[in-house]
Every structure is written in C-alpha cells, then in structure tokens.
Chains A and B, each alone.
Chain A
Amino acid sequence: ILNVEQSPQSLHVQEGDSTNFTCSFPSSNFYALHWYRWETAKSPEALFVMTLNGDEKKKGRISATLNTKEGYSYLYIKGSQPEDSATYLCASLTGANNLFFGTGTRLTVIP
C-alpha cells in the first residue's frame, strides 16, 4: 500500500479567490500522478495525468505541477467559482499499474 497524502482535508474560499492544495506521494517506483475532481453523487472526473518531473498542465482555470524527485504535486484553481466546489483526489500510479488514492481535499467555494 502506497501512502498518498493530501492537504488540507477541507477548504472554504470566497468566490473569486485563487487556491491551491497539495498531494504528496512516495517518489520511488513512480509512474504517473492522477488528479480527479469528484462532485457529490457523480463519477470522479479525470483532470490530469502527469508523468514527468517538472510537468505543468492546465485546463481552464485549473492547473497542476509535478515534482517527482521530492514526491509532491500542487493543484491550483484561479478565480474560484461555486461550480468548482468538489472533492479533489490525487492518486499515484505505480509500475504495477495500481492507483493509490489520497483521501482528497474537499473544496467549498462560497458565493
């Protein structure tokens, strides 16, 4: 079992604020880092798959960076909107092709 940790556990921000949260994972046997967005009563939605150290990916107002040497990834949301409210999950993919998930960061954007 891989120890993937996310912080903070939950977060409340005002609409329009920018925010970020962290995912840390063991750097050994690393293959890829996945970010998912999970709204209540819906399926987790894949945001990014990142593999290379220094990778930075962007999707609209959401972006992510990856540091495989020190074992962390940041997810950034610029100008948060109420529809961004969700739980954001990260998962580390090992060479054995298993995804190990963190417990998620629950984001609430207050209008």
Chain B
Amino acid sequence: GAVVSQHPSWVICKSGTSVKIECRSLDFQATTMFWYRQFPKQSLMLMATSNEGSKATYEQGVEKDKFLINHASLTLSTLTVTSAHPEDSSFYICSARDLGGMGTQYFGPGTRLLVL
C-alpha cells in the first residue's frame, strides 16, 4: 500500500523557535498533500492543502504566515511552525492523495509538538 513518512515524530522546543516538519510520499507521487492538526479529544482538523508547485490553500482561521507550507516536489511537503508558542503544541499529521486515487488519503504517523 501507499506509504507516507513524517519526520520528526516528536519535537520539544522553546517558545519563539521555528520547527519544520517533513511529509514524504515514499512510493507514489502526490500533487496534493494535506496538513491536519489535532488537539486533545478533538477531531483531526484540516489546516491547509499543499499543492505541488503552487501556494498552499489555508483553512479559515489558520495563519499562513505562521504555518509556512512548501510543496517543492511531488513527494515532499514541509510545514514550518514559525515562532512557535505553547498554544501551538499539538499533534500535526499530514496526508497525501495519489494521482490516480479515489480520493483516498494516505497518512503519515504524525508529529507531536510540545512548545515550552
């Protein structure tokens, strides 16, 4: 099956630092990748749609200048949390949709971010 990797799996950082999370589709090409965030006891919430070679589309309420997304190739998207603050502590998970899929999204294992 399609495999998506995500690194790092855990990040602990000081307030004010920036954190980069990578999402890679290992065995397929993905023109579209998605970034989700999950707070405790809540559902996965879409943050942004990452489109290869063009700007990401952000959901309402998600600051594009704070959550920088780069999708430079068909197998890699990165999410950078800039100047992270404790309220950014959350579980971030990416997914990728392959070119021929029925809309099935293949997920990475997620990244747990803790900002002190």
Within 8 Å of chain B (Cβ to Cβ): is A4? yes
How many A-B pairs with Cβ below 8 Å?
Answer: 47
Q: Chain B contact residues (Cβ within 8 angstroms of A): what range? A: 20 to 34
Q: In angstroms, how far is the closest chain A Cβ from the Cβ of B104? A: 5
Residues of B with C-beta under 8 A to A104:
43
* A98: nearest chain-B partner, CB-CB: B46
When A32-B103, A49-B103 are in contact, do A41 and B41 touch as well, CB less than 8 Å?
no
Residues of B with C-beta under 8 A to A97:
49, 103
Within 8 Å of chain B (Cβ to Cβ): is A46? yes
Within 8 Å of chain B (Cβ to Cβ): is A66? no
Interface string of B89-103 (1 = CB under 8 A from A): 000010000000011
Residues of chain B at the chain A interface (Cβ within 8 Å) = 1, 4, 34, 36, 41-46, 49, 93, 102-110
| Interchain residue pairs with CB less than 8 A apart (27) | A4-B43, A31-B103, A32-B102, A34-B104, A36-B107, A41-B109, A42-B109, A43-B4, A43-B108, A43-B109, A44-B107, A45-B1, A46-B104, A46-B105, A46-B106, A49-B103, A49-B104, A51-B102, A93-B103, A97-B49, A97-B103, A98-B46, A99-B46, A101-B44, A101-B45, A103-B42, A104-B43
